Amino acid sequence: MKINILHAGYCTAPEHIAIHGGRWRSIHFPAMFALLQHPRFGLMLFDTGYSQRFFDETRKFPKRFYRWMTPVSLHEEDLVVNQLTNFGIRPADISHVFISHFHADHIASLPDLARSRYVYMPHAFAHLRTSPPSQDMKHAFLRGLIPSDFDSRSQVVDMTRPILLSNEYAPFKTGFDLLGDGSILGVELPGHAHGQMGLFVRDENGKLFFFVADAAWLKQAIIENRPPHRIANLIFSDPQAYRETLGELHTYHLTHPDTQVIPSHCDETIRSHETIQRQNPNAARR
């Protein structure tokens, strides 16, 4: 499987919010998405980053506060559909989109992917569906980003069929075989958002990638087991579970140093992979 790590726009926020003891200056938090080219199932994405719909949906109050709290920068060339074109890929070619969770910076381009299957953990969306719209801002959720035919194209993870993971994935003990061939394993990473899902994916060279979404905002937080500022608890679904998950990621990093652990918003991590990809531009082409 070929793996390309990209991003569609970024927001800015003070570093000390993202990691305890961080600097007070604002830093970039790119909205990562990954292009996965599977030999059998074809072209797939992990999340989608921002799109112009984010600005459309946050034009009026109270949703405008979302835009103010996390100022977003997005250029036309950053859009998922335009970046796919650089690889000779049409949006209709994407067979699956694995959704880590339903915050706006992870799902904003779902409507652009009109033929994709949406794969996600059931409780990631169930609580949002049943919550009143007045609660949307608390969950960083914008209903207008959900395609009208979302339900008919959903492929919800069957939580009744977990698999036991080998020591290669410890301390993570159970996961979900998302394609049925063992090539993409989903694991729940609780705390940041209900039903947040991470992915274990191995590339064509045998290198293992662990996409951890927002279980940590910075790679440094995982390396040093440094949680965010306590003010971030206001937006977490379960602050205690967040810290437990971060501790597991820290343990995993120490015991599996060769795995590429990819937080969705770590600028240093994402840019380092984009640099490697630019140096070897043909590696991810179809």
pLDDT at 283: 52
Assigned CATH for 2-279: 3.60.15.10
Residue appearing with tokens 């033929």: 115
Among 253, 263, 228, which Cα is nearest to 172's? 253
- Check: CB of residue 61 under 8 Å from CB of residue 69: no
Among 33, 14, 34, which Cα is nearest to 24's? 14
pLDDT at 277: 87
CA distances from 135 to 103, 170, 234, 235 (A): 13, 36, 13, 12
pLDDT at 280: 74
Quick count: other Cβ atoms within 10 Å of Cβ 171? 13
pTM of the model: 0.96
pLDDT at 278: 77
pLDDT at 166: 96
**Residue 107 structure tokens:** 């799902």
Per run of 10 residues, the mean pLDDT along the chain (length 286 residues) is: 97 96 96 97 98 97 92 97 97 98 98 96 94 90 97 97 97 98 98 98 96 98 97 95 98 98 98 84 54
pLDDT at 207: 97
- Check: CB of residue 259 under 8 Å from CB of residue 171: no
Say which DSSP state 166 is in.
P
pLDDT at 281: 62
Domain ranges of the chain: 2-279
- Work out whether strand 2-14 and strand 260-263 pair parallel, antiparallel, or are unpaired: unpaired
